[in-house]
A and B are shown apart, each in its own frame.
Chain A
Amino acid sequence: MTSEALGTRSPGLTADDGGAGTPDGARPAGGVVPQRRRRRPPVVSQLLLTLALLLFLAPLGWMVLSSLKSAGEIFTTPPELFGESLLFSNYSNALDFLPFGRFMLNTAFVAVTGTVITLVTSALSAYAFARLRFRGRDSLFLVYLGTLMVPQEVVVVPMFLIMNQLGWINTFQALVLPWAFTAFGTFLLRQFFLTIPKELEESARIDGAGHWRILTQIIVPIAAPAFAVLAVFTFITYWNSFLWPLIVTNDVTTTTVPLGLNLFLGQNGQAWNLLMAAATISMAPTALLVLLLQRYLVKGIALSGLGGR
């Protein structure tokens, strides 16, 4: 069942980016609508949509505005956008209260290391499943697939005991390793590798290239979009992860950004202006990442079916 589920999801993810994600503008504007409507630009619709978007973004805007107010200006009736002056010092005060710079460094280290391990091991396994013939391949792949359905919560309890046994509580390896070998990356890349025509490898094979060279010099470059999607989402998942860091770390040396924000909430949660400064600091990196990589991400989600969260 699982294999059917995930198998059918994949056709959109093809090596040549075909079909599924038509980029904006690839189709003549208004091509969908009948002729008579083309002349009337959807001004009202666009205006209302913009209003909806602004309403949607209001919480984030309010966060930033509140982060620049004094404590007394947070709660006013009617609401005021700005306080008497813009208190950028809230940011340095928040950073003084808890070392968010350190948290950010910790999180970046965890996320980058985890992403690299995930990409490398997934690429190797995916190549084996997509291109090599060996006994038990399909049943082994089914085992991998089967674990995709298991929620993280099922494994956290024994995982905690394993970490405890290894003496890994409050270490980076405890934050990185448990989630760097999930079947998802293997599955995603395998599906992509399968869409790459084997003809491309043929001449290399005739020239005597081994599997390693075929993977690194032919497959990986072609599959770059799939790697990019997997990289970005693995990175974001690590960055935002909360439950697991909450379980295995309680020391500032390994605290991650979301955990740091939770700590801030617990210790200084009534200082709303500083809390909002801390929240802004916590949310800026991934928000910027998405805005910078938007074109790529939108297509990646569409193609890989990473939706549903």
Chain B
Amino acid sequence: MALTGAVRVTDATGSPQAPAPPRGTKRGDGRAASAFLLPGAIGFVAFTAFPIVASLVMSFFDWPVLGDPSFIGFGNFVELFTTDPVFTTALLNTAVFVLLYVPVNIVVSMGLAVWISPRIVGRRYYRVLFFVPAVTPMVGNAVVFGLLYTPRGLIDSVFQTLFGVSAPNFLGSSAWALPAVVLMSVWQGFGYNLLVFSAALDAVPPSLTEAAAIDGAGPVRQFFSVVLPLMSPSLFFATVLTLISSFQVFVQPYILTGGGPGNSTTTLVMYLYQSGFQNFRLGFASAIAWVLFVIIMVLTAIQFLGQKKWVHYDQ
């Protein structure tokens, strides 16, 4: 009992909870906690924690849908990195997608967030309209871009009208297909970061930019020396999250190109889907998932280590 009391007192620093008569057990609110946690925890264990572990285990197995799984150690991973040309292509395509998508997304959303300045009338409406494709089904967005990209479609038709020449066959050419997928993805997705950056911009105290202006800093200097450092936490987290989600790109190439032409737009998740649910190699697909996960983890860790150099948390 003495121990319980001690714990209560330490815990009470800053928490004005009345030293109510000890109702519960020695463990504090243990009983209530189990009741509150149980519904969520059952689902969490069954549908989140267990599948994560299971996925790691499966990645070391040859696991067909029908028939018995057999343990093959690092076999799946060895196959991925040594003998599987499609995986190498998918890895490369995903890397190119990420390298194009993330910077363009960040620059466009940041640029527009700045552009939609307090002097713009009705800025709230601009922001939300740029956000619309971010919440409409990705399949729909991709289908619409299919009509724009297709030969004789809107872009081609505009090209012929203005320049008298056909536009490239965006989705039918292995050189254009991936950039076309990137463009569609940026169009669809930058609205999230636009809203995040807009909020961060609004939170910058006007007195600071005014002070900089009095010191003779122009708008560009004000932005890079005052505003950007102040919103660096937002920029950091937006970059981290955008990078993570861009590695998971699937629907856009699935709908627009089916991974083609050839394998020129096959991404990691697409290859995972094909391996697991079209070729029914479940262990192999799990191995791809873990390669993806490890890449994401490593890159996120690197960003967190690097943030000290440019992210300022103290206002």
Asked if chains A and B come from one complex, the reply is: yes
Q: What is the interface of chain A, defined by CB distance below 8 A to chain B?
A: 1, 4-5, 8-9, 12, 19-22, 24, 27, 29-34, 41-42, 45-46, 49, 52-53, 56-57, 59-60, 62-63, 66, 74-79, 117, 120-122, 124-125, 127-128, 132-135, 137, 140, 143-144, 147, 149-162, 164, 177-183, 186, 198-199, 202, 205-206, 210-211, 236, 239-240, 242-243, 246-247, 257-259, 261-262, 265, 272, 275-276, 279, 282-283, 286-287, 289-291, 294-295, 297-299, 301-303, 305-309
Whether A24 touches B124, Cβ cut-off 8 Å, given contacts A151-B296, A283-B136, is yes
Chain A residues, CB < 8 A from B71: none
Cβ contact within 8 Å between A150 and B293: yes
Instruction: Indicate whether B245 reaches chain A with its CB closer than 8 angstroms.
Output: yes
Instruction: Write out the residue numbers on chain A whose beta carbons fall within 8 Å of the beta carbon of B153.
Output: 75
Asked if residues A307 and B36 are in contact (CB atoms below 8 Å), the reply is no
Given contacts A53-B130, A153-B248, are A5 and B285 in contact (CB under 8 A)?
no
Q: Are A128 and B37 in contact (CB under 8 A)?
A: yes
Bitwise, B117-154 to A at CB < 8 A (1) or not (0) is 11111011111111111111111110111011000111
Interface assignment of B255: CB less than 8 Å from any CB of chain A: yes
Chain B interface helix/strand/loop/mixed: helix
Chain B residues lying within 8 Å of A161, measured Cβ to Cβ, are 54, 282
Residues of B in contact with A (beta carbons under 8 Å apart): 7, 11, 15-18, 20, 27-30, 32-34, 36-37, 39-44, 46-52, 54-55, 58, 65, 112, 115-121, 123-141, 143-145, 147-148, 152-154, 157-158, 160-161, 187, 189, 192-193, 195-196, 198-200, 202-203, 206, 209-210, 213, 233-234, 237-242, 244-245, 247-248, 250-251, 255, 269, 272-273, 276-277, 282, 285-286, 289-290, 292-293, 296-297, 300-301, 304, 313
Expressed in whole angstroms, the Cα–Cα distance for A307 and B234 within the complex equals 9
Q: Which residues of B contact A247 (CB under 8 A)?
A: 273, 277
Q: Which residues of B sit under 8 angstroms from A143, Cβ to Cβ?
A: 49
Q: Please name the residue on chain B nearest to A155 by beta carbon.
A: B51
B269 adjacent to A9 (CB under 8 Å): no
Distance of A261 Cα from B133 Cα, bound (Å)? 16
Return the contact of B128 from the options A46, A183, A199, A297 (Cβ within 8 A): A297
Max chain B Cβ within 10 angstroms of own Cβ: one of A30, A63, A132, A261: A132
Report the minimum CB–CB distance from A241 to chain B (whole Å).
9
Cβ-defined contact, A133 with B29, below 8 A: yes
Nearest chain B CB to A293 CB, angstrom units:
9
Give the docked Cα–Cα distance between A289 and B33 (Å).
36
